[in-house]
Amino acid sequence: MSSLSEAVVILGSTGSIGTQALEVAQLLGVRLEALSAGRNEELLLQQIHAHKPQKVFLPQPSRAFVQALPKEVVLFQGTHGLEEMLGACCSHLVLNALSGFAGLQPTLSTLQQGKTLALANKESLVVAGWLLPTQNMIPIDSEHFGLWSLLKQRSISEVQTLYLGASGGALRDLDPEQIPHQSLEKVLKHPNWSMGMHITINAANMLNKLFEVLETRWLFGISAIDAYIERTSSVHALVRFKDQSLHAQLATPDMKLPIAHALAPKLAPKLASIAPLDLCALPPLRFEPIDTRKYPLWALKDTLLQNPKLGVVLNASAEAACQAFIEGKIAFGQIVQVVEQSLARFESACRGLSHLEDIYHLDAQVRASIAV
């Protein structure tokens, strides 16, 4: 049995990445000290009984949940409950699989406590990359894990360009004029990945890849970043070195490999549940440029790299617009308009950002400005 110091904390355990992390932890024999969830009480209770964490966090637990919770489990709740739980944990590794802007504060708390952060919460780096010490981070996104593995033992000064793989999302085979009018049901039918609702929507208009570009910028300290559509989602990342050699990282389209290397790097090679890629069964690999007629937001990539603090506006406008689409208040194509207008309106405000309080203030301003 692992000691408590070798246990881990998983934030967002009921989401897509969180459930995969629990599966990997169980296969590798990694002990769970604490779990957190948002609203899925039923699944969280199942996870508590299966994985026996000592601590759990739920923002607003129901009376039924509290009554069903095993007596030996300490419950944290309320506005500051998650930070209180993190402060009470002994584990050296925290996996942040929370979705959205809400993941920023736990990221900061983890790093301030000197713990290692396995980061799947894109928004933390997108909105506050310049404030976060990346040396204590392990990237969980498959693209960034791919880059990290390709750059081992290599200097970033040897790199000409970093490339991210992109699936193209659920609407990739439609004509450009058809895309803005697609229903939520069609947008959520991702061809390769099983992910949460917001990230699947963002994959369909390339917002997700813009997020990953900014993540790459802060993780690796380079602005020479691009992406290609690769339809099998087998090629997660590529690196072109200055000697013009091109190195690619291939793996199955799920998150188990990066999660395993984060939770227990010495045991990761023993994870039998990771299906090996059958090279003979793979369809021919083809790389396509991202067509800005289909994905007009991709035209913002260079602007974001030139002023990466615009990530605060990008994230706030994307979250607000995406939620409005889910609620049927705007059409899918209007997400593009909301994001573009917000970036234009608040571009100058981003240049003065210097403190965490500035980020929260600007985030609130952007959301309040979006009338849908």
Binding-site residue positions for Mn(2+): 141, 143, 212
Q: Are 150 and 249 in contact (CB under 8 A)?
A: yes
Residues at the binding site are 14-17, 38-40, 121-123, 141-143, 167, 190, 196, 208-209, 212
Token pair for residue 20?
């995969």
Element (H, E) at 164: strand 159-166
* Site of tokens 């405000």: 349
Contacts with 189 (C-beta within 8 Å, 6 or more apart), sequence order: 170
Element (H, E) at 240: strand 235-241
Residues at the binding site for 1-deoxy-D-xylulose 5-phosphate are 122, 142-143, 167, 190, 208-209, 212
Chain CA centroid to CA 369, Å = 25
**Secondary structure (DSSP) of 320-357:** HHHHHHHTTSS-TTHHHHHHHHHHHHHHHHHTT--SHH
Alpha-carbon distance of 263 to 13, in angstroms, equals 14
Q: How many CB atoms lie within 10 A of CB 36?
A: 27
* Site of tokens 């070798």: 6
* Site of tokens 């659920």: 170
| Torsion (CA) 173, 176, 180, 185 in degrees, nearest 10 | -10
Residues at the binding site for NADPH are 14-17, 38-40, 121, 123, 196
Alpha-carbon distance of 199 to 210, in angstroms, equals 12
